[in-house]
Amino acid sequence: MNRRVFSSILMVLSLLAATSISIAQTTFEDPQGRFAIDLPKGWVLAPLTDDKVFVFQGEGKTIIVECVPMVNDPAELLKRAETTVRLSGMAKPLLVGDVLDMTLNGLPARWAVYTGSLSGAALASLCGGVANGENGLYFLSFIPITDMAKWKDKLEKSFQSIRGQGQRVTGVESVNAVSVSPPAPSNPTPWASDLVSLTLPPGWSEKPKPRGSEKEAKGLFMYDPLPGTSLVVVCYKGMGMTMSKALEAGIKTITIPVPGLKPVEAQEMKLGKRKIYFTVYKGMGVVAGTEVEIASVIAVTKADKCYANLIAVGPSTVLAEMKAQVLEIVKTVK
């Protein structure tokens, strides 16, 4: 997943309007010859920060197109768009109608519409994938639900104009609804290191720790339902170690690399008989060269052999879900 797309999504969803723009145009042709697309009249291309990501803007609306080299499966390309929707922080996006397979201007394509909420706003996300030989791409546009009647057809028409450079718009053919099976239920996953054990709710998966990680870091995990959300389990022990000192160490772990983070919540709580220090930080950090708001949740508790520090980091738009996940995990620490 291109990290610049993550930055673009956060900016687009916070503004839902054009910022800096270039020359207006009706038809855009990729300078590298990978695709062409027709845009609503008066729309413009935002300055490029990546030669694979294109952001088109007009009348407070946005279309994002990302080229995905060496991917020619429209199902996989649509999945990339859906992943970006989840990465944006849209709460529990729901599929509207059917996922549609089609032939688009002679190219294999797939289309879907989702609805959800972000920061209290009800939004729709229009997603598509088009395979043009080795030059696959996905299409994504977020619009308020209240604007669907006016804008859905216009934006869908732009998607349906995507073609290879130099090709004609021949229209949509062979449209078929795709049977989408609900995800298979998954079970909580027990995990243990030499100092601590815990249980991860469904959706968490362990990843290799980066080189240079502090020796106290025992495990790194990613939360698949919210791409971009990570959890590190850090263990502290030794003479003089306390929960307060473990919390202080956890705070340094996140604030030294991201000094813009500031505390927004701090409390001592009990979950059953377990004592927990729980802290939340928010602030601006740099992702792919662009400032975006991120959040971190830190929970410290006493395990059998150490003080366990759970540190979650992700977009601030998914803070509520991060807090819920960390509290669910910390209850299981042993």
**What is the DSSP annotation of 157-204?**
HHHHT-B-TT-----EEEEEEEP-PPPPP---EEEE-SS-EEEEPTTE
77 token code pair: 């390309």
pLDDT in the model for residue 212: 76
Q: Are 224 and 203 in contact (CB under 8 A)?
A: yes
pLDDT in the model for residue 137: 95
Which residues, 6 or more positions from 146, have their beta carbon under 8 angstroms from its beta carbon? 122
d(CA 146, CA 7): 25
36-38 vs 27-29, strand pairing mode: antiparallel
Phi, psi (degrees; rounded to nearest 5) at 304 = -65, -35
pLDDT in the model for residue 185: 60
Is the whole-model pTM more than 0.75? no
d(CA 328, CA 136): 39
Residue 294 pairs in a beta bridge with: 283, 315
Domains in the chain (CATH in brackets) are 3-178 (3.40.1000.10), 189-330 (3.40.1000.10)
Which parts of the chain register pLDDT below 50?
A: 1-25, 288
Read off the pLDDT of residues 44-63 as tens digits, 9 standing for 90 and up.
999 888 889 999 999 889 99
pLDDT in the model for residue 227: 66
pLDDT in the model for residue 209: 85
Place of tokens 């610049």: 4
Q: Are 264 and 289 in contact (CB under 8 A)?
A: no
Q: Are 99 and 113 in contact (CB under 8 A)?
A: no
pLDDT in the model for residue 262: 94
**Mean pLDDT of the residues in the chain:** 85
Three-state SS for 289? coil
- 21-37 burial, b at 16+ Cβ within 10 Å, e below that, comes to eeeeeeebebeeebbbb
d(CA 118, CA 315): 12
Distance set, CA 183 to CA 29, 180, 186, 203, 225 (Å): 38, 9, 9, 11, 11
Read off the pLDDT of residues 186-208 as tens digits, 9 standing for 90 and up.
689 999 999 999 999 988 999 99
Phi, psi (degrees; rounded to nearest 5) at 106 = 85, 0
Q: How many Cα atoms are found within 13 Å in the side-chain-facing hemisphere of 25?
A: 13
d(CA 306, CA 192): 13
